[in-house]
A and B are shown apart, each in its own frame.
Chain A
Amino acid sequence: MMLREFVDEVASYRRTITVFAPAPDETLERYFETRNVTVEHEPLPDDGSGGFVVVTRDGEFVGSLARSAVREFVSPGEVGFGPNEGVRLPMNLLADTTFVSFDRRKLLAATREIEDRAYRQGRGTLRSGFQTLSRFATERDRYESIASKSDLDVHAYARPDRTTAQSISETENATVHAEEAEEIAAHWFVVFDGGGDDRQACALLAEEVASGPNSFRGFWTYDAELVGDIDAYLRESYGEE
Chain B
Amino acid sequence: MEASKLISFFEEDLCIFHLRSRKKISALTEIVHHLALQKRISDERFILDMLKNRENLGSTGLGNGVAFPHGRSLAIKELTVLFARSAAGVDFEALDGKPTHVFFLILAPSDKGSETYLAILSELIGLIQKPAKLKALNETVDFPSLVGIFEGKDD
Report whether chain A binds chain B: no
Binding site for A on B (CB under 8 A): none
